[in-house]
Structure 1
Amino acid sequence: MKINSLQDLKKVQKQLAVAQEKAQAEAVARAAAERQREAETKLFERAVGTVKRMPESARAPAPKTIVAPVAKQRQKDEQAVLRDALSDEFDASTLLDTDEMLSFRRPGIGRDVTHKLRKGDWAIQGEVDLHGLRTEEARVALAEFIRNAHRHGLRCLRVVHGKGLGSPGKTPVLKSKVHSWLVQKNQVMAFVQAKPAEGGAGALVVLLKPAG
């Protein structure tokens, strides 16, 4: 600022005095804040004692990714329930009708039901193919399929078990087991051998009870 008069000089002096007062006030505030921080630090140290920095070697590395826990035991329990619910020791042969084609119906269910099932009065709403599965795999797959279908309100299903032509001795082992397992499922009202065009002796058409 150019000083041309005594009045200009007084203005400059006043501005310098104001700036100096501001600087002094800021210095006092910083000193007070520092004293406050020191007091708080000493209070913390008195409360918790001496604090030492943990050495790097003692630190546990933080996991890079968080993996959601898998309820493996629950899965095992559910599979055990399914296995126990469908026994291989159950003999269903005495409950099957073997007239022109194999069929099954629960006590109290009329022959007209299996007759309509053979005719295709109910549209097939779902299918499970067990052909080629091991016995244990087929047991679990069938139980889950029936349970889920019934829960979703499906009524007519097709279960493909194969004709057993690839089994040792050409014996349809899985076919007879599927008959036994289906008879043991309370949701199953009836089943019949599928039509030739729908799998014939290698498949069954199954009727479930209404949901609920």
Structure 2
Amino acid sequence: MSHPNDEDPAELFRSAIGQVTPLRKGSGPTPSAPKPRPRARMAERDEQEALGEFARLLRAGPPLDAGDALSYRRDNLPPRMFQRLKKGQYSVQDELDLHGATATQAEQLLRQFLLEAHDHEHGCVRIIHGKGLQSDGGAPVLKNLVDRHLRLRNDVLAFHSAPTAQGGTGAVLVLLAR
């Protein structure tokens, strides 16, 4: 047997919850203001730290110009191996092109690339950073970033700007420790 009120959903609801006591105005919790949209504070902090690190690296020495060659050799690397690198006589096993990347993106890409090169036991890689002719302020940002970053890495034995046929002063050949 069905009640005549079974069809009215509002009446069903009232009978299910029972008797209620209305709240007085001002009693109980008040609705709070909407919460602010979340911000990527950690990403913003990382970006600022990376820019600070880049600025510190640039202050470590005079910045390179667009036509300058990148060149570095650890003392324990035989000069003959460095000469072969300068001439482009090592087989390039992988390549990273940084064109169009921001300084922060380039640093992340460079770190990841070198980790993967190490994991694959590559001996020689090429990094294309461009000559920096489009850089604001004159100094080629990516070229200087690559130069400073590679000098700080323990797994880099040597690097030198590529021969003209392999990118010239817009690319660098890197000899890695295995």
Q: Distance in 2 between matches of 1:169 and 1:92?
A: 18
Paired with 2:69 and 2:101, the residues of 1 have a C-alpha distance of 25
| TM-aligned CA distance change 1:137 to 1:203, over 3 Å | same
Greater gyration radius:
1
8 Å contact 1:92–1:183 — kept in the other structure? no
Quick one: percent identity of the two aligned structures? 39
Q: Deviations over 1:72-115 (max 9, x none)?
A: xxxx89xx6xx87xx42236649x9xxx9541011222322220
Question: How many angstroms apart in 2 are the aligned matches of 1:123 and 1:93?
Answer: 31
Instruction: Provide the TM-score with structure 1 as the length reference.
Output: 0.53
1:117 aligns with 2:85: yes
Q: Which amino acid aligns with 1:132?
A: G
Closer, same or farther in 2 for the Cα pair 1:153/1:116, shift >3 Å?
same
1:180 aligns with 2:148: yes
Partner Cα distance (2:135, 2:69) in 1? 22
1:129 is aligned to 2:97: yes
From 63, 76, 87, the equivalent of 1:108 is 76
SS of the residue 2:154 aligns to: coil
State how far apart, in whole Å, the 2-side matches of 1:150 and 1:192 are: 19
Aligned length: 127
Q: Counterpart of 2:91 in structure 1: which amino acid?
A: A
Q: Which moved more, 1:116-125 or 1:153-162?
A: 116-125
Q: Which runs of 4+ in 1 moved over 6 A?
A: none
Instruction: Extract unaligned runs of 5+ from structure 1.
Output: 1-54, 56-75
Deviation of the 1:131 alpha carbon: 1.4
Say which structure, 1 or 2, has more relative contact order (CA 8 Å, 6+ apart): 2
CA gap 1:111/1:177 in 2 versus in 1, 3 angstroms: same
Q: Which amino acid aligns with 2:89?
A: D
**Aligned match of 1:159:** 127
Q: Which amino acid aligns with 2:127?
A: V
2:29 counterpart residue number? none
For 2:156 and 2:128, the matched residues in 1 are separated by 16
Question: What secondary structure sits across from 2:175 in the alignment?
Answer: strand
**How big is the shift at 1:119?**
2.3
2:139 is aligned with 1:171: yes
Higher helix share: 1
What is the Cα-based RMSD across aligned positions, in Å? 2.8
Deviations 1:34-75 (A, max 9, x none): xxxxxxxxxxxxxxxxxxxxx9xxxxxxxxxxxxxxxxxxxx
Give the Å deviation of 1:170.
Answer: 4.0
**SS of 1:168 mapped into structure 2:** coil
Q: Which region of structure 1 is more displaced relative to structure 2, 187-196 or 101-110? A: 101-110
2:107 paired with 1:139? yes
Q: TM-score, normalised by structure 2?
A: 0.63
Deviation at 1:199, TM superposition (A): 0.8
Q: How far off is 1:120 after superposition? A: 2.7
